[in-house]
Amino acid sequence: MTQAPATNPVVVELKDVHKRFGANHVLKGVSFAIPKGQVVAIIGKSGSGKSTALRCIDRLEIIDSGTIEVCGHAVHDPAIDLRRLRQDVGIVFQSYNLFPHLTVEQNITLAPRAVKGLSGADALAIAERTLRQVGLADKAQAYPEQLSGGQQQRVAIARSLAMEPQVMLFDEVTSALDPQLTGEVLRVIEQLAQGGMTMVLVTHEMEFAARVADTIIYMHEGKVWETGPGQMLREPQTPELRDFLSHGL
Amino acid sequence: MVDGGLNLHHLQFLAVGALWTVCLSLIAFVGGGIAGGAIALCRISPLKPLRWLTIAWIQIIQGTPLLVVLFVCYFGLSIMGLELPGLVAASIAMIIYVSAYLGEIWRGCIEAVPRTQWEAAECLALSRWQRMRLVVLPQALRIATPPTVGFMVQIVKNTSLASIVGFVELVRAGQLINNSTFQPFLVYLIIAAVYFAMCYPLSVWSRRLEQRLHFGQRAAAP
């Protein structure tokens, strides 16, 4: 990528990735690489394949051809150890997907205890730390439905962070939120970016993408159409991106 | 007593019969619940043969009258040299029947937990069994409570079929009393009232649970 310091190893790499849903050819040869510590924003119209590309990185979708390497895991390999991959990759969804029967604290401690075998006390310490990180230390005992959408999404981020992933994926995490709640979630993501977390965001927040992302990938019709730094959004090279930006902003 | 034929002994006899109805219902619910839980899990297993086997079981049992299952257990097995007392034969038949229905009800409840919950659990690196045990089953349990309590009504009512293989539960007790008093209207009205007294609270409870599931589930929780 354009901005990548040469010293940083690549942690996510897609090469000529194709994905079809039946007759619908969603990804038509997508390739990009993300060095450690970089923040990449993927933008594009709905149906451009941006969410699918993100989901392929965590093997929530299985690709038809091409290769994906994430933190040393060959994601395209059918024999992949999914649980190892998922310990290295955190993902946050548009619809939060918190576990409604558990408190905020239990939502966060569940995986560190079950997967990493941490003691209750160690897991609680992690919950406390990650909740403080997202500014919700006082909500540990609340149930998800007692929280606003923005708070739920921040808990979802804390839940992912508790597994101490190498890469964080964000799939349109503010699309279900009103502008005020969007702001509080974006602030958390921005802090993570400053902390050096490697992140891939699929987003509709252009201003935010321009400010926070090291690299922006514009996807159009299943292809990486244009790639560049945040500046790219002010000087689009292709008519498609220009058109997209004029409708989007 | 009430009039000519029916006396206190008869009512006592009916009470004992009612007690056996409750006993058989409990055996059917607990036994059928354990088998039904296993069937629900097998029904959604990633192993195809296991899935097919449980689908076949459910289809066969749901497509057969309970009465016939009962006859097979009581008369069929006795010809094969397995002479079972009425209670045992009735228990086996009821457990078979309940397992197929509760298995299918609970399978539906497990599948009613949104896919996204599985996905979120999967993305946190939980194993399949952990996802089931820690994330999906606790939610399915809440969804399952109203229809399960509702089905208990069916269990109670269907235990009356055990009267046909000579097991003295409520209906059989009534038949025996009627044979000596010849007051079918009175005797069976009493029996109907006793069944109603058992079943009505269950259906009210089921309805309440359902309402609680629909409105502000968590509000009352600690």
| Rounded distance between C-alpha atoms, residue A166 and residue A145, angstroms | 29
The answer to whether position B79 is within a domain reads yes
| Rounded distance between C-alpha atoms, residue B39 and residue A197, angstroms | 45
The whole-number pLDDT of residue A230 equals: 84
Q: Nearest CA to CA, how far is A69 from chain B (Å)? A: 17
Tokens for A211, please give them: 């400010």
The answer to whether position B113 is within a domain reads yes
Count of domains for chain B? 1
The answer to whether position B96 is within a domain reads yes
Q: How many residues does chain A have?
A: 249
Interface predicted TM-score (ipTM): 0.88
Locus of tokens 């514009």: A218
Q: Nearest CA to CA, how far is B43 from chain A (Å)? A: 23
Locus of tokens 């500046």: A231
Using an 8 Å CB-CB cutoff, list chain B residues near A97: 116-117, 119-120
pLDDT tens-place string over residues A25-80: 999 999 999 999 999 999 998 889 999 999 999 999 999 999 999 999 999 999 99
Per CATH, which fold does A10-248 belong to?
A: Rossmann fold (3.40.50)
Q: What is the mean pLDDT of residues A85-110?
A: 94
Q: Nearest CA to CA, how far is B122 from chain A (Å)? A: 8
CATH number for the domain spanning B83: value is: 1.10.3720.10
The answer to whether position B200 is within a domain reads no
| Rounded distance between C-alpha atoms, residue B71 and residue B155, angstroms | 17
Residue A3 pLDDT exceeds 60 = no
A217: closest CA among A201, A205, A195? A201
The answer to whether position B9 is within a domain reads no
| Rounded distance between C-alpha atoms, residue B173 and residue B93, angstroms | 20
- Least CB–CB distance from B117: residue in A83, A86, A97: A97
The answer to whether position B152 is within a domain reads yes
Residues in B lying within 8 Å of A, measured between beta carbons: 116-117, 119-127, 130, 134-135, 138-139, 142, 217-218, 221
- Mark yes or no for CB contact A111/B116 under 8 Å: no
By residue range, what is the domain housing residue B111?
19-168
| Rounded distance between C-alpha atoms, residue A45 and residue A243, angstroms | 11
| Rounded distance between C-alpha atoms, residue B90 and residue B220, angstroms | 41
Q: Are A184 and A134 in contact (CB under 8 A)?
A: no
